[in-house]
Structure 1
Amino acid sequence: MRAYYEQGKERDRLAGSKGALEFQRTIEILQRRMPPAPAAIADIGGGPGRYAFWLAELGYAVHHRDLMQLHVEQLQALGRPTIQTAVGDARHVDLPDSSVDAVLLLGPLYHLPEREDRIEALKEAGRIVRAGGPIFIAAISRWAPRLDGVLQERLYEQNPDFLQLLPQVERTGQLPPVVPNGFVGYTHRPGDLVEEVSDADLQLDDLVGVEGLPLAATDMQSRIVDQAAWNVLLDAARAIERVPELLGLSPHLLATATPAP
């Protein structure tokens, strides 16, 4: 994981057409439950700070934590005084109990292959948020490697071994790197994410698919410069976001939860 992120690729990941869809849909979903500014928001595992910066622009006080020193430095370089950032682990957050109004957990579950570690990260989010505050939890869909990586990105053309990995990935959820210093992660079935939220003493309020069905890269690129076509894509993602049979089609899942009473 560290070898992958130390390459610095994450800073611009949400800038391309595929990342733009993920970002626009994610902020749309967050805004359904975000408390009004200037509330305090914890962005745990927030990477180089794209969401932290967006929140700061809206007037929120942001507590950003990430495992990677590089990501902390990239965010510090943006010079936003309402963002307090430091290196931190989602399983052991250095914030007091009930000290923030909402928590973003938009990356840590991607990189915790052990279930007990994922539960610990979820419990920590529940510990630091005030009663009734929303916790937003992102996960990679179990079928993202096949639908996004193979059908959309055609990763097998440069990495033929990727096709051989798919059955194991879909059985175990464990996604190994397919190239040196490549992405390594964990992928969720929707039902497994629901169970983990419950086992962390959180109450699930919503679970949606973020992007909808992955499209070919060329299609995505043509749509981002055509507002009407882009709106059709967004509307499709909204229309199917809670359809149980289609949840796993989205590359990313986003759960909203609160501490159990």
Structure 2
Amino acid sequence: MDQSNRTKPGSYYDEYGDREWERLDRDFFHRLEWEGTIEHLETQLPPATESDAPHVLDVGGGAGRYSIWLARQGYAVTLAEPSETQRAIAREKVREHDVADAVAIVDGDVRDLAFDAAAFDATCCLGGPLSHVLDAADRRQAARELDRVTAPDGPVFVSVMGLLGIVLITVQYAGRGEEALDPSLVPALVREQDHTAELARRHGMEPALFDCHFFRRAELEDLLSAAGLTVETIAALEGVAATRRSHFDDLSEDDRDAIREANDLLRTDRSIADLSPHMLAVCRA
């Protein structure tokens, strides 16, 4: 990977290619992120009817998984994505799923959204776009943009990558050859909350992970509240599965169902949300 491009919006996902489309359906662990997100979208989005298709913004929507789901539920969708490669994949996928008429795909950066104030009935920023904004001032600006473009009292959904989740996963898999990053980086990551190419090189290694800011739950709540959003809940997505991550297919279907049910029951527990590799904030503009 060209490390010089790591901090440019969309550059990582240009090289990530089809894997972003595949990620949310890769295995049981990743499907928990999808299922938890969809559960909140279904209950909090304004209803779509044959005569009324609310307009939803999908910021950093990548290859379009959420945009396609939204379009199939009857919403008019604008997918704003900085990666040219992901936009191209999204165009292909919306055609394949026969929703191209319902999804507009545009170049867009969460820090500077080229839309009028209150232009959307609801806004989604899912999978971690705010986590890829390393500068704290830029994250504050991005959060204000999510509030600005959403109609008053419209729902805003923001998911980010959790600090404790990545730490638990790395410790769990240390020495197995499956860790998300080198365990020697964990203390610095806990102190700084940012994984960057510069951090890895300071420790004498090439980066094995994208540039990313990892959130604590209270930090996410404070960021969104300061931007003018009313945070209604912060939910764990992978939640109780955080310390296993893989090999779920070795379990019986009954065992997987029990883990999913436990995760659903604990989804809005504040401690579990803080431990989750991805957490979802459900807000109102």
Q: TM-score, normalised by structure 2?
A: 0.83
Give the drift of 1:82: 0.4
Range that drifts further, 234-243 or 156-165: 156-165
The answer to whether the aligner puts 1:247 opposite 2:262 as a matched pair is no
| 1:212/1:236 contact within 8 Å kept | no
The answer to whether the aligner puts 1:50 opposite 2:71 as a matched pair is no
The answer to whether the aligner puts 1:188 opposite 2:220 as a matched pair is no
Correspondence for 2:86:
71
Correspondence for 2:124:
104
The answer to whether the aligner puts 1:221 opposite 2:249 as a matched pair is yes
The answer to whether the aligner puts 1:41 opposite 2:61 as a matched pair is no
What CA RMSD, in Å, does the superposition of the two structures yield over aligned residues?
2.2
SS of equivalent to 1:146? helix
Correspondence for 1:4:
12
The answer to whether the aligner puts 1:138 opposite 2:159 as a matched pair is yes
Correspondence for 1:20:
31
Q: Distance in 2 between matches of 1:143 and 1:119?
A: 22
Instruction: Classify 1:120/1:155 alpha carbon distance in 2 versus 1 (closer, same or farther; 3 Å).
Output: farther
* Matches for 1:88-167 after TM superposition, within 5 Å: 88-106=108-126, 107-151=128-172, 154=174, 157=177, 162-167=182-187
Gaps of 5+ in 1: none
- After superposition, the C-alpha distances for 1:214-235 in whole angstroms (9 at most, x for unaligned) are 2535542235x72x33321221
SS of equivalent to 1:81? helix
Q: How many aligned residue pairs are there? A: 256
SS of equivalent to 1:32? helix
Q: Distance in 2 between matches of 1:40 and 1:142?
A: 32
| 1:237 aligned to which of 260, 263, 281 | 263
Q: Distance in 2 between matches of 1:55 and 1:156?
A: 39
Give the drift of 1:154: 4.9
| 1:207/1:256 contact within 8 Å kept | yes
Q: Distance in 2 between matches of 1:54 and 1:155?
A: 39
**Runs of 4+ off more than 6 Å:** 158-161
